[in-house]
Structure 1
Amino acid sequence: MRPTTPPSLEDILEMAEDALAAIPAEMREMVRGAAILVEEVADDELAAEMGLDSAWELTGLYRGTPLTQKSVLDAPGAPDTILLFREPILLEWIETGEDLFRLIRNVVIHEIGHHFGLSDADIDRLEGED
């Protein structure tokens, strides 16, 4: 059953946390300490930085240092963050008819891929394999 009102920031965050809790324990352990945040939409400056024509194209973003680049000698910095953008996610949900939880899970997993050091091309190849 589809909600009758748009899911709130808190609803999206809850679904993202549920998606994270459902990944294999070994992977979840490697993501421990990363924050999940939900914002309405990326700003135009971030979209331009990402090479996008519009902030509406960005459903998620990983900010941090990928595990492949971390060292025990690194000075502590800001925590790794997985950002989800509510309005572009909801737009994709409406346009595709995809199950909202599945869509959010896919965005979370995509951003976790970046945490593991995978590029967009690497992730696209993995998503294309069945």
Structure 2
Amino acid sequence: MDKSITGLAPTADDIEAIARRALAALPEAFRAHLGDIALRVEEFADEEVLDALEIEDPFDLTGLYTGRPVGEKSVTDTAALPDMIHLFRRPLLDEWCETGVTLEALVTHVLVHEVGHHFGLSDADMHALEAAAG
């Protein structure tokens, strides 16, 4: 059913499908290092995460990478939690409505940003790359 006709907001499954398409569209050189990364869509980040990041408004966090960047991994790592990209549905939907950017473009942007963290890039590194590309 077409959600634009029914007026229903995109679900977590809808956002996950967009994110999986975005992952599949990444160049093979990147995808080769993303095989074990988990993707999770949640309504909001939990209070513990928000507190750790010193974020007061849960709508201010659209995505998060948790894990160790590729360059910091070691064969001696044991019992580590899986690397994970979290996408937060409600903040994504709010930003989508506020900016007028397509949901696909927004989810892809956030996902690529979190993939950048998986490869060890800082927010400053990614902003510099975006500025150079734009």
TM-score range, shorter chain: over 0.9
* Structure 1 runs of 4+ with >4 Å offset: none
CA contact under 8 A between 2:3 and 2:9: conserved in structure 1?
no
Whether 1:35 and 2:38 are equivalent positions in the alignment is yes
CA contact under 8 A between 1:44 and 1:54: conserved in structure 2?
no
- Residue identity (%): 45
Q: Structure 1 unaligned runs (5+)?
A: none
CA distance in 2, matches of 1:7, 1:17: 15
TM value normalised by structure 1: 0.94
CA distance in 2, matches of 1:86, 1:72: 34
CA contact under 8 A between 1:56 and 1:88: conserved in structure 2?
yes
- CA RMSD, 1 decimal: 1.5
TM value normalised by structure 2: 0.91
- Please name the residue that 1:94 is paired with: 97
Deviation at 1:2, TM superposition (A): 7.6
In the alignment of these two chains, the number of paired residues is: 130
Deviation at 1:70, TM superposition (A): 0.5
- Please name the residue that 2:81 is paired with: 78
Whether 1:6 and 2:9 are equivalent positions in the alignment is yes
CA distance in 2, matches of 1:99, 1:22: 17
